[in-house]
Amino acid sequence: MATAAAQKTDHTAPYDGDGTAATAGYERAFDAAVAADERIEPRDWMPDAYRATLVRQIAQHAHSEIIGMQPEANWITRAPSLRRKAILMAKVQDEAGHGLYLYSAAETLGTGRDELLDKLHSGRQKYSSIFNYPTLTWADVGAIGWLVDGAAITNQVPLCRCSYGPYARAMVRICKEESFHQRQGYELLLALSRGTPEQHAMAQDAVDRWWWPSLMMFGPPDDESQHSAQSMAWKIKRHSNDELRQRFVDICVPQAESLGLTLPDPDLKWNEEQGHYDFGAIDWTEFWEVLKGNGPCNEQRITQRRRAHEEGAWVREAAAAYAAKHSETGATRA
């Protein structure tokens, strides 16, 4: 898929390391392609820093899908109806699938899944800070669907137009599935909100706990975001953190109203002049603490991930040994 697309663009210039004069030419071609909103493909020349930024961002995105399975999987065995259980299992399965797409996209940049997982396990690469919060009740599954997936979609829809082709195409597939999960999360909360008083209270409590961490998913404020300017120039990113965060708040307020739930922000009010909702200050101290590894579940999440990987080592070794034996004898099944 990537190769076919690469052949269609006229800026294809496989890197052959033949000196600065050629590099300058490649760089001009790259800049022109980005300016013309063309897609950069795996075999195209690209600046090292562009490659590194993409690897970092796509890997972090993939890791978030994988770590993000944990807070929801926490409720699979306790889902209160068979229908909800099936929906939740399908969702967690999709997340593993998204992780797989994204690792493949990262691999087109010359890195390997094993290497990326190793960086995750050793803490050298991050995942979304939101997954360091615990799922304490069933309603949290709904709040994650509505708010966390909602924030992810707001972030990710513009990535469908990202300048790097494999990433953009992965996002198209992922966003379709995420939108579906988001609606299911909303519907779960609606059922609780309209249920018994205990169910309603459970839904409200979950929204109270997940609202602010969801707003933090858009990253630090624009004046503290170290990668933003360059990513926007390269058209990896299309909107600033604060812009997307505002868009998300504007979408959520009316949705909360129709859910019959409140958002835990006394400063939230419609600003007629701006045509947006004003909202209260985010606790950036909490954000940085979670990012540094001091959130409620950082230790637990990474320990579980490492343990799954370590305990699975003998299985992966067996598969490799079997494949080696049977490719020698030509007995491998297609």
Residue 110 CB: number of other CB atoms within 10 A? 9
Assess contact for 165 and 331: CB atoms under 8 A: no
Q: How many CA atoms lie within 13 A of 203 on its CB side?
A: 24
Per the DSSP assignment, residues forming a β-bridge with 271 are: 276
176 near another protein, judged by CB under 8 A: no
Closest separation between CB of residue 263 and another protein, Å?
23
Q: Does 73 bind another protein (CB under 8 A)?
A: yes
Q: Bridge partners of 277? A: 270
Least separation in angstroms between residue 314's CB and another protein is 5
Q: Any contact of residue 42 with another protein (CB under 8 A)?
A: no
- For position 85 contacting another protein by CB under 8 A, the verdict is yes
Least Å from the CB of residue 323 to another protein: 8
Question: Angle formed by the axes of helices 298-311 and 313-328, to 10°?
Answer: 30
Task: Spell 53-79 as b/e; 16+ CB within 10 A means b.
Answer: bbbebbbbbbbbbbbbbbbbbbbeeeb
Nearer to another protein, 45 or 75 (CB): 75
Tell which one of 138, 186, 218, 287 touches another protein (CB under 8 A): 138
For residue 36, state whether it binds another protein (rule: CB under 8 A).
no
Find the shortest distance in angstroms from Cβ 286 to another protein: 25
Quick check: 272 binds another protein (CB under 8 A)? Answer: no
- Of 291-310, binders to another protein (CB under 8 A) are 304, 307-309
Nearest to 199 by CA among 72, 84, 89, 296: 84
The neighbour count for residue 190, using CB atoms within 10 Å, is 18
Q: Residues in contact with another protein, total (CB under 8 A)?
A: 50
Residues that bind another protein (CB under 8 A): 66, 69-70, 73, 76-86, 89-90, 92-93, 96-97, 99-100, 103, 138, 188, 191-192, 195-196, 198-199, 304, 307-309, 311-323, 325
